[in-house]
Structure 1
């Protein structure tokens, strides 16, 4: 603001150039504040709608890789990320079912293997040639060879 003396009193007045400069400064400050607010809002939306769900998907994929399959994955979203999460849950459930089935078959095989060893059927337990074995299985195998089957 320029100062002009008119006698003994100081009079202040604004020139159009100073007025224009102040208006531009105010507009730039408002624009900077709006830009900062917009960036913060976009980051918050991006974090809640994309980054947090992607982190959850990554954690669930890690659980699958570590075979931590007991707790299901819940996804309520109806977008692409939700569909991917639901497919990951389907993969978890199928993998759990297959591993449980494999464990069950392994237990049955071990029980059968122990029973074969208990009944002194070394050929079944060790998968050797039954021609040199004795017992009910070797008898059946010998009979099959004699009949040509």
Structure 2
């Protein structure tokens, strides 16, 4: 439902050619987050900068014990980024308590930021989630 706006709101863009509503439609084709701004460091740099566990999880697809991650029960405002590149991945508002022991999100900031791979290890079919620029194992 809606009501007709007052007269002074009518034809706003014609009356205010540089008003806040003007959006360059060519921006719609640009990526929300440009991967070129987030280069993956060398393995040597990652080994030196990440904890041993973070390196094993992100680079070797290891699994940390459930309910031990510092962010499992964190629900503060903000964004979650790839630990290897700093590339934004998830909004905190899209995080939910899944009860599985690891941070869970309903969606990434943009679908291009996450890559999904079929994982047939351990006698089951699963989906591995990795970050786009750093190819960091996320789960």
**TM-score over 0.5 for the alignment?**
no
Higher strand share: 2
TM bucket (normalised to shorter chain) is under 0.3
Q: TM-score, structure 1 length as denominator?
A: 0.17
Q: Relative contact order, CA 8 A, sep 6+: which one is greater? A: 2
**Structure with bigger gyration radius:** 1
Q: TM-score, structure 2 length as denominator?
A: 0.18
Higher helix share: 1
